[in-house]
Structure 1
Amino acid sequence: MTDARTAIVAGLRRLGEEGRPASEAARWAMRKMRETGETGKTGDDFKVFQLMVHFFGAYHVPVERLRELERWEGLDTGGPLTDAELDAVVGPLTVRETPPS
């Protein structure tokens, strides 16, 4: 895991422990991904994939629910899913005790 990815997953875990909603955690992760250069030079598909990877590393969320991130308006790709809808679909963020192997 790269230092940037480790820091993003750690930050997401912290937000989950604080009880923050999925939309807030996703916006935070997107900002950090831009700051570390994980987005910007790549297409929308890569941005969504990276966000899903970070969420999967930090939280117990089934992949089929993580796929809903593709439809989230916060990605600025024209998706119809609002913050409230994303929060409802992804549900409360349950932090993984250990990263997936």
Structure 2
Amino acid sequence: MNAIVQGLAPTSIKTDEGTAFCNTGWVEKQQRLFTVNVGVDITDALQTASDMLDTALTPVNAAGMGEPLVDNNAWLVHHTLESAKAVVDAVHQALKERGINA
């Protein structure tokens, strides 16, 4: 488990509304394929987002050092970052709705 959230007590704050992500179809349709589930403990949600971001760091770091993102790796990084962002957005919304400025 990531040291950032390890040891934190479980919280009663859960994700409230599903944050939609992953555009699909024609742009004009403005469709999202996936949604963050309602009712997920925010500590667990943030741990998963942290794990996703950690996974994306390796290929991004390699690209920063001049190695190309080959084959589908660019899409892998894109979808991982998009998913992690949706989780963070859902947690932020849950905190905001409870008057917690994060």
TM-score (normalizing by structure 1): 0.31
Greater per-residue helix proportion: 1
